[in-house]
Amino acid sequence: MDIFVQIKRLVIARHVLFTQKAESEMDIDSLTPELVYESILNAPTIFKVLRSSNRYTKKREKLYVIKGLTFDGLDIYTKGKILKKEGVDIFYVLISTKRNTDI
């Protein structure tokens, strides 16, 4: 399955976790989870894939950067990863969520 399709399906199903960092960034920019979901669902593609190491597990992981617009044209940047939780459910974990200032 295409990873971007998988991410969008996880968002539609609300299988999304926000880190404390993402929640703080959302508060600063007055963003709601619904606005973040809209921007991901409206994004045309994954903007960039970053390779990273998890600082707790030391395992390599892929982080997906998505730039999308809400229905009102608000430009939002998200960075997240796919995570299997408790061996069963799959979640899209948002590590960073903020207004895109690269415009």
pLDDT digits (tens, 9 = 90+) for 16-29: 989 898 999 999 99
Report yes or no: 94 and 7 within 8 Å, Cβ to Cβ.
no
Model confidence at 1: pLDDT above 70: no
From CA 90, how far away is CA 75, in angstroms rounded? 26
Model confidence at 12: pLDDT above 90: yes
pLDDT digits (tens, 9 = 90+) for 35-87: 999 999 999 999 999 998 777 777 888 999 999 999 999 999 999 988 887 77
Q: Which amino acid, residue 96?
A: S
pTM: 0.84
Q: Would you kindly state where each structural domain of the chain is located, as residue ranges?
A: 3-99
DSSP 16-66: EEE-HHHHHHHHHTT--HHHHHHHHHH-SS--EEEEEE-TTT--EEEEEEE
* CATH number assigned to the domain covering 3-99: 3.30.2310
Compute how many other C-beta atoms are within 10 angstroms of the C-beta atom of residue 68. Answer: 21
pLDDT at 89: 62
